Amino acid sequence: MMSWLFLAPLIMPVNAVAQSAEPSPSIERVALMLTGAECPEQRNRIAIALSEFSAVRRVEFETVPDHVLVDVVSGAVSAEALQQAVQRGMGESRGCQVEVMKSCISASPVSPTP
């Protein structure tokens, strides 16, 4: 019994390290081009629509003008599904159009959270 109590503090940290060593999922970036005078006013609705996807890791409006960059778990959701969700989220607004961009914009590495 005494030896188990002595080894327990050594075993517990090893177990914690093993659990946190799981690889983080691969991330891909989807670029949606926003065109129209009403797009700046639609940012909140766009962000809310994208937040409905558990695979979405980050939404950036400031990096590229007239675009929203969406970092998602690779293979978990299509660019077209994101586009459709944004269009639904904006409702009947005709002043902002959303188009999926096929480009070379890539996701920056996501640093692991401590």
Mean pLDDT across the chain, nearest whole number?
Answer: 81
pLDDT mean over 88-97: 89
The reported pLDDT for the residue numbered 98 is: 95
pTM of the shown model: 0.70
Q: What gap in Å lies between CA 34 and CA 45, rounded to an integer?
A: 13
Sheet-wide strand order for 97-101: 56-60, 67-73, 27-35, 97-101
Min mean pLDDT across 40-49, 56-65, 97-106 is at 97-106
Least confident of 36-45, 56-65, 81-90, 96-105: 96-105
User: Would you state the pLDDT for residue 17?
Assistant: 47
Q: Give me the residue spans of the domains in the chain.
A: 27-101
Binned at pLDDT 50, 70 and 90, residue 114 comes out as: low
Pick the closest to residue 53 from 32, 29, 71 (CA basis).
71
For the domain made up of 27-101, the CATH class stated in words is alpha beta
Cα–Cα distance, 58 to 109 (Å, whole number): 12
In this predicted structure, what is the pLDDT of residue 49?
A: 97
For the residues 49-59, what does the mean pLDDT come to? 97
pLDDT at 2 over 90: no
Sorted by sequence, the CB contacts under 8 Å of residue 51 that are 6+ apart come out as 59
The residue-averaged pLDDT of 3-25 equals 54
Distance between CA 20 and CA 6 in Å, rounded?
Answer: 24
- Average pLDDT of the residues in 32-57: 96
